[in-house]
Amino acid sequence: MFEFLNVRSRPLVGIDISSSAIKMLALSRTDGQYRVEAYGFQLLPVHSIVDRSLSAIDKVAETIRQVMEWSKFSSKYVALGVSGGAVITRVIQLNARYQSVQLGEQIEAEAERYFPFPFEELYYDFEVIGPFERNPEFSNVLLAAARVEVVDTRVLAVAEAGMKAVVIEIESMAVERAFAMVVNHLPAQGKEHHFALVDIGATVTSIYIFRDLKIIYNREQAFGGKHLTDEIKRRYGLSAEEAVIAQNYGGLPEDYVTEVLTPFKETVIQQIARALQIFSSSNEEVEVHYVVLAGGVSKLSGLETLVQSQLKIKSFVANPFIGIEIAEGVNKDALYEEAPGLLAACGLALRNFDDE
């Protein structure tokens, strides 16, 4: 899905260019068993990305280059994700007898019906996902598009770093692929439950509801770790760069935990509760059995316990690498520490094996 560039090379490196960091992962598979070959994580310079747009391609490229060198990635071929508001998705119904070329021609002929932007400003792709239940003569077709500028700037940043983007994918599809690995440690019957994956990034919280390991609901909220960073800046008179460094590497005053961190955790709980309430209001018959925390904020100490005790729902932090072989050159403890923020990169790296 969403392969704007037709070249397919292996092995692929999954690269997640988030609003605050570069996250990279390479996987191999032998006899059905996955192995982490390399991974890397590096914070981006402040303001490198604004409203999902790369405002400083050179800084993003340099960060990718650093991660590639430090973590010793052997492949230069990349799978990239495009997320949230940067992606337009629709499920449409088209004649089931159409072949792939005919589907493309029909979509282009009626582009104004499906896209809020001029067709020439978009990359698009589609996939037949099954028959239309109300009329078997039609098929449900998943249609996805992204602004050319959003895709091209990411491809350019990767190219300037000395790598080549060969797959562009909707981030939610990558997350869905990786989520199957997240729940591998659960009993078989547990995988049939409904899961709420709460991915709390720097500026956006993405809520995914899974049934049978497939996303049935996805929503974003404008909330994330930046709220904590902004409060650190305000209370202690730090610059944005100083606040990020202090937050990630220590050095904050003694009252930080009680006056800043604990209230922020309470706000996180409120945001999760609100998101689940919005979902439940239109899906009363669906009971969420687990809350799975992901994203950088999920690493905050004690957050998982707070979610479970206050929301009365079983909770755990996402780690798709439990039970997976780790290459000798990869620091397992560091990988596990960053695992909640690596779901998209993991799902993108898994594109290696879709056709096997």
Is 161 found in the same domain as 150? yes
Is 337 found in the same domain as 279? no
**What is the Cα–Cα distance from 99 to 97, expressed in whole angstroms?**
6
Q: What is the pLDDT of residue 194?
A: 92
- Domain of 266: which CATH number? 3.30.420.40
Is 116 found in the same domain as 34? yes
Q: Which residues pair with 165 in a beta bridge?
A: 78
* Residue 60: closest CA among 1, 18, 121: 18
Is 24 found in the same domain as 101? yes
Is 93 found in the same domain as 75? yes
Number of domains in the chain: 2
Identify the DSSP state of 17. Answer: E
- Domain span including residue 208: 186-318
Is 343 found in the same domain as 229? no
Ordered DSSP codes for 147-166: EHHHHHHHHHHHHHTT-EEE
| Biggest CA pair distance of the chain | 68
Is 261 found in the same domain as 193? yes
Is 199 found in the same domain as 66? no
Tell me the three state secondary structure of residue 133.
coil
Tens digit of pLDDT for each residue in 252-309?
A: 999 999 999 999 999 999 999 999 999 999 888 889 999 999 999 999 999 999 999 9
Is 206 found in the same domain as 133? no
Question: How confident is residue 191, by pLDDT bands cut at 50, 70 and 90?
Answer: low
Q: What percentage of the chain carries pLDDT values higher than 70?
A: 95
Tens digit of pLDDT for each residue in 225-245?
A: 999 999 999 999 999 888 888
The two three-digit tokens of residue 233, written as one number: 């800046």
**What is the Cα–Cα distance from 148 to 151, expressed in whole angstroms?**
5
Is 229 found in the same domain as 107? no
Per the CB < 8 A criterion, the answer to whether 336 and 242 are in contact is no
Is 36 found in the same domain as 120? yes
Is 301 found in the same domain as 346? no
